[in-house]
Amino acid sequence: MAAILPPLETPEERLVFWSITGTWGLWLIGGLYHLFPLLGWALVAIAIGRRIGVVDARGYRSRPVPWGVWVWLIGMTTMLVALVMGHLDFDLEAEQFVKSILGWVKGWGLLAAFIYAGSELRIKPIVVFRANNILAAQSLALTPVFMVCALAGVPDVLYISPLVYLGGPGPSFFAVSTHAWDGGSLGFRLFYYAPWSPAAAFCAHIGLVCGIFDTRWRWRITGIVSALVVCAFSQSRLSLIAVPLLLIGLPLLSSLLRAWPAAIAASLATAGALVFSQATDAFDDALQAFMGARADSSRVRSALARIAYHRWETEAPVFGHGVVERGSHLVEHMLIGSHHTWHGLLFVKGAVGFVALVLPLAWSFFELLAKAQRDAVARAALGMVLVFVFNSFGENLEILAYLAWPGLLVIGMAARRRLLVPAVWAGELRPAFKVHPEAA
């Protein structure tokens, strides 16, 4: 058991660990969309309670909130301001305003909540990594079961949880389903515990980072293999780009003070100059194949993007429209502003909302890039930031914040860690490979 469970020393560690490992159980009752946001705000309440002395604070040392966390808190609060202004500009109904506020609580507000909780609470990174890898093992074991259900013709949706009546974006968030029929190579796609298959791949990208940074090789292999399997059976096109970039790019970005990344970059630049024309042709062919893999989906997404951008630019450039809107038959009546984080932000919250996400992501990227040269946890957090950036171009981060919360916790943990800089003696740069104690 000691090889499976990391030491759980605080109530928040036990809460986080059992919430992650119990994901499939919560999925069975359709409770993920409601319970994970409650978890996030409960962790915030514990953190604030410790800070003001209401909650047991033995062993707690009050520290200033890191700048990287403040940027997220301010950015996501700005999202709320843009939401309010958008509703006022278009004179939307009070009922819609209340729904939008609740959506912010479970969406953009939740991003800041988990990052703040990760920076404030006493949660060891290994707790998140190991819990995700245990969840990955469960997903790996259930994959053959879901495949058999699909091949045997079992109905794709087994039932809709009654929790749907408590409110939410739609039935897909409360559906207990084993697969979805698809015209691709397999004939089906697996959703796992996500509301749709690309969202399952998003969760797998977070699991991939957790697998890479587990301290035990068996769990490391389990997490990585499970992530690759989930990406394969969800048939996520974005994973064809995200997974290689994570596996190759993260080590390169974490080793900028060493010689070998520069040598590799120089070699690639030289080789690229020699075969530039062939490389551009290959890239064009690959791009066409990528778009053609799901041509109908690409067409609809492209049309949604054009409509969202045009209506943002001509109707509500500053604060946006306040809410998503149902599209026409051209986009199969899908919601404008729902299938792409950046186009959605422009349409719903305007330029203000767009900047409110760009700045926190950019701050975290550069801060963690600096810390990652000396800190293993910062490397994992940098990987999480890359996951969010990659998926922002194919998914709506707001609506999937309730599933991506383990990655947000890790970003918060890294935000509180010191920047360990190399020492300089007599003009020589000597690597100071001193690792923060919590990185072990």
Among 68-72, 155-159, 214-218, 261-265, name the one with the lowest average pLDDT. Answer: 261-265
| Predicted confidence (pLDDT) per residue in 58-72, tens digit | 666 778 899 999 999
| First and final C-alpha spacing in the chain | 20
| Predicted confidence (pLDDT) per residue in 219-259, tens digit | 999 999 999 999 999 988 888 888 998 999 899 998 887 76
SS3 state at 175: strand
> Greatest CA separation found in the chain?
72
For 310, the token pair is 């045009």
| Predicted confidence (pLDDT) per residue in 392-440, tens digit | 988 889 999 999 999 999 999 999 998 876 544 333 333 333 334 444 4
For 336, the token pair is 């404008």
- Banded pLDDT at 289 (limits 50, 70, 90): low
For 122, the token pair is 């006493």
Residue reference for tokens 């909302």: 353
The whole-number average pLDDT for the span 42-69 is: 84
Give the containing element (helix H, strand E) for 306: helix 295-315
CA distance 411 to 382: 8
The pTM of this model reads: 0.87
SS3 state at 343: helix
CA distance 142 to 327: 36
Rounded to 10 degrees, what is the CA torsion of 186, 187, 193, 196? 110
Task: Please provide residue 180's backbone torsions phi and psi, each rounded to the nearest 5 degrees.
Answer: -140, 140
The whole-number average pLDDT for the span 47-67 is: 80
For 71, the token pair is 């940027």
**Nearest alpha carbon to residue 208 among 276, 291, 140:** 140
| Predicted confidence (pLDDT) per residue in 341-389, tens digit | 888 888 888 899 999 999 999 999 999 999 999 999 999 999 999 999 9
> What pLDDT is recorded for position 261?
62
